[in-house]
Chains A and B, each alone.
Chain A
Amino acid sequence: MAGRNSRHALRAAVLGVLALAAGPAYALGGGGELVIVANQEPQSMQAQVTYKEVNGVGLRNVIEQLTRLDPRTNEVKPMLATRWEQVEPRVWHFELRDGVTFHDGTPFDAEAAAVSINWLWNPENNYSVREMMGPQITAEAVDAATVAVITAEPDPLLPRRIYLGGVTSAKQILEDPASHDVHPIGTGPYVFEEWKQGQYWTATANPDWWGNTAEDPYGEIFFDRLRIVWRPEPIVRAAMVESGEAQVAMFLTKEECGRFDAKDGIKCIVKGSDTFLQFRLDYHGAAPLLADPRFRKAIFTSIDWEGIRLNLMGLGEALQGQMLPSVATGFHDGIRQYPYDPAGARAIVDELKAGGADIPSVHVSTRLGSTPRNGEMVEAMGAMLTSVGIPNTVAVEEPGVFNPRAVSKPTPERAYAWLHVQANPLMDYGATFGAHFSCGGIVSVFCDPDFDARVAEAASMTGKERHEALRALVKEGHDRYVVAPVGLLQRAYGVPEGFAWEFGPDHRIVAVNMRMN
């Protein structure tokens, strides 16, 4: 341990000397370097990557948004916008924070915000953040401090949806867009320094961050420097925290987590996320029996969902027969997980056969690497289906095979079921239905124009009225056996004892919400 302590002391001394030599305008936190070890390297540093933490770990320290979600309440709170108002059904005005500058020195104003928003949500750019897209968004400056965001249809979710969109330098977008991919220029508490591909990326504390002097910052700079590294093996990630090389090891396994909790000096933090694992059964494929509610019920009740969650999923929170947890708008507290009733399922299958039905083979697939042990899960599902007399095939498919099939609309190939993860940081069933239950939804397995119309109607509502309308649709979706939620993914992190970190269900790695006590 002496070696480790002396290394740390030396590192702290060097950092201290460097900090003094640099002479920042704002006294930095003095917490030294924060090292986060992620499971994968980002594929780019584009602003849009910030919409999912796993795609660009730590990038939200550099790039901020107009709004943020409170980690405790999940409410929409001010960030670069201080207040907002729906001035017309399709127009929102966002008042921007004064005195904010991008890391390249250019001012953050309404013109800059409009350029950034238009770039991010532009259908030409086709960024994957559009999977969270509601009605199409465009933006324009009203005055220097107010940006208008116009939606193609009324969108009461906009202030929440806009939290997904990172705001970066308009100068960079307009003058050097290629560098936008590898060199993020935001307004955040950390200034991007270097991305050494294959190794790490780094950022340094921003002495000019608006949060240093604002009355309502969302955190405080404690760490002077940020370093993100990546190791695919959870054992190696855990070892980096155990040896003192890193402060946060992302996505530990249940076993690693147990080991951390049993040791002195380190601990494991486990928290439910906004990502759920779900089983979908095509409703409008080529096999007519798949649209028969009795057959669908047989499939859904032949699988032991709780057993799979507890024994194979590992770190999974129970979901009450619906995709989102109780904080979500539209959550229905009267629904429960589909019961495991193999005898009942077998009886339905026998009844269908007796009626002359030809029981189709169900192909159950999952995408390679989408979540731990998903291959075992589909194998278990296949065995359970077989046990009640439903022929099936199961497969763990390469993304190149799985993805195109997931987006192709009703074809014989689409007469199948799939197990996959999906995130919904908006915590609103309006977004879920739009993407996953509508006739035009990119990855939808369901199509009922009447249902679509009621979703559209609910999507234009707000408050309690919206909640009740969506709640009724949640119940209907459940009763029509569209999707079986397996569980809400819990994410586990290894940290040193005394490490404090406040984060919400979106699991953002935001250094100003971390400190070492």
Chain B
Amino acid sequence: MIGHGLGGYFVRRLLGSAIMLLLVMSAVFFADRQIGDPARMVLGVAATEEDVRELRERMGLEDPLWVQYRRFVLGMVQGDLGDTFRYGISKPFAHGGMPESRKTLPIAAERLPATFVLGGVTIVFAILVALPLGIYAAMRPRTAGDRTVNVLSLAGVSIVEYWFALILILVFAVQLDWLPTSGYGTPAHVILPALALSLRPIGRITQIARSSMLDELAKPHITAARGRGVPITRIASIHALKNAAIPIVTTIGDETVNVVTGVIIIETVFGWPGIGALTVDALAIRDVPLIEATIFLLVLIVLGINLVIDLAYMALNPRVRLR
């Protein structure tokens, strides 16, 4: 019996996340079986049907679908999503007959640190820019400053990241020569991809911060505080912001999830060696086990972020625990 306290809530959320992971990965599993024969993709057009059948057997593709699915689910539980046959390994029938292979999950996991760096810098930068902008706009409603922030935040959520990334490269790397166009390895390399990725979170967090703060600043106890002569900056940063934090934190969480999905495009454009770029590579070569491993980790990250948001939400609003 799962209790109603914090521990119980946490366990329920974990179970819910596990079910969600299973559903998403099941959808991925069945979708992957529709994109052609992975064995033929590995061996190329010159391979004989016999070679293809042999590799299909080794990959387990000759088994009934339910057997493959059971193996897939058990593999997820054990942290083994199968072998890649194409990514930097032997293609030929060398050494006794079959291609060399490598486990996909470690290959995908190797790419996580780069994605965490990019995602972390992006979301921290977005918060540092968006919160002051939103608060500033809320403190000066219907002024030129407020309207400017509104327009900028709307632009942030409207502009396509891919296009913005290319513009950033052309302006800051080519025209101004301030930053590298792309690549990985130094702090300078993270700036442009993080800027490109942060556009939407900045816009969304600014909008929510502004509207939440406007609601709070209109409440009677805030008016009373202003009547007592408490400085508006103190009122905004201490009293109003605390109460406005719940929707803002929720939005930050949502946008962090969006950043995780956004890395797939941005990492590819900038040559950033994260899990997003690896997903694109795996899709390009139709490496089914590797596709499944990268998506598995991306889904895990998203579920993890959602869990953290829920816990943060609870910390800010203790009533949530009892529901």
Contact = CB atoms under 8 A, between A and B. Distances in A.
Given A236-B270, A404-B40, A44 B46 contact: no
Contacts of A231: 182, 269, 271
A178 B90 contact: yes
Given A131-B46, A199-B271, A243-B174, A235 B90 contact: no
Nearest to B114: A198
B43 to A, nearest CB: 7
Contacts of B38: 400
Interface stretch (A9-17, A84-92, A102-110, A122-130): A122-130
B46 A126 contact: yes
Contacts of A406: 45
A366 interface: no
B268 interface: yes
Contact of B178 (A3, A177, A400, A443): A3
Contact of A182 (B88, B181, B273): B88
B295 to A, nearest CB: 17
A145 interface: no
Interface string A169-208: 0000000011011100000000000011111000000000
Given A229-B271, A240-B182, A400 B93 contact: no
Contact of A1 (B91, B177, B183, B277): B177
B47 A198 contact: no
Contacts of B97: 124
A443 B183 CA distance: 39
Interface string B160-187: 0000001001100110011011111000
Given A230-B271, A240-B181, A243-B174, A178 B41 contact: no
B201 to A, nearest CB: 23
Contacts, number: 140
A85 B170 CA distance: 55
A44 B45 contact: no
A126 B99 CA distance: 11
B270 A124 contact: no
B95 A399 contact: no
Interface string B81-104: 000001111111111010010000
A44 to B, nearest CB: 6
Interface stretch (B128-136, B207-215, B231-239, B278-286): B278-286
A46 interface: yes
Contacts of A317: none
A4 B268 contact: no
B36 interface: yes
A401 B166 contact: no
B88 A235 contact: no
Contacts of A196: 273
Residue among A130, A235, A244 with the most chain B CB within 10 A? A235
B322 interface: no
Residue among B89, B174, B277, B280 with the most chain A CB within 10 A? B174
B45 A131 contact: yes
Residue among A130, A232, A443 with the most chain B CB within 10 A? A232
A95 interface: no
Nearest to B285: A43
A132 B306 CA distance: 53
B91 A44 contact: yes
Contact of A181 (B88, B177, B178, B184): B88
B266 to A, nearest CB: 11
B269 A233 contact: yes
B71 interface: no
A235 B278 CA distance: 20
A401 B270 contact: no
B312 to A, nearest CB: 32
Interface string A232-272: 11011001101111000000000000000000000000000
Given A44-B91, A403-B45, A236 B174 contact: no
A404 B37 contact: yes
A161 to B, nearest CB: 16
A130 B86 contact: no
Contacts of A1: 177
Nearest to B52: A404
B277 A398 contact: no
B115 to A, nearest CB: 11
A442 interface: yes
A144 interface: no
B44 interface: yes
Given A43-B285, A178-B95, A232-B268, A199 B184 contact: yes
Interface residues of A, number: 50
Nearest to A181: B90
Given A44-B91, A198-B111, A235 B169 contact: yes
A239 B168 CA distance: 11
A179 B178 CA distance: 40
A463 B314 CA distance: 84
Given A239-B170, A240-B181, A400-B40, A44 B273 contact: no
Contacts of A240: 181-182
A502 B129 CA distance: 51
A506 interface: no
B51 interface: yes
A357 interface: no
Contacts of A124: 92-94, 97
Contact of B278 (A46, A198, A401): A198
Contacts of B173: 239, 243, 245
A199 B97 CA distance: 31
B182 A126 contact: no
B181 A236 contact: yes
A400 B90 contact: no
A188 B35 CA distance: 40
Contacts of A233: 166, 268-269
Residue among B41, B94, B184 with the most chain A CB within 10 A? B94
Nearest to B162: A233
A242 B91 contact: no
B100 A181 contact: yes
Contacts of B111: 198
B12 to A, nearest CB: 38
A43 B87 contact: yes
Interface in A34-49: 40-41, 43-44, 46, 48
Contacts of B86: 43
B37 A239 contact: no
A407 interface: yes
A398 B166 contact: no
Given A43-B88, A197-B88, A198-B111, A245 B45 contact: no
A404 B36 contact: yes
A46 B40 CA distance: 19
Interface string B49-78: 001000000000000000000000000000
Contacts of B41: 399-400, 403
Contacts of A46: 90-92
A233 B196 CA distance: 15
15 contacts: A43-B87, A46-B90, A126-B44, A127-B92, A178-B90, A182-B88, A196-B273, A197-B87, A197-B88, A198-B281, A235-B169, A243-B181, A369-B284, A398-B35, A407-B45
The 9 closest A-B pairs by CB, nearest first: A400-B36, A198-B273, A125-B92, A239-B181, A242-B174, A4-B177, A128-B44, A243-B173, A199-B273
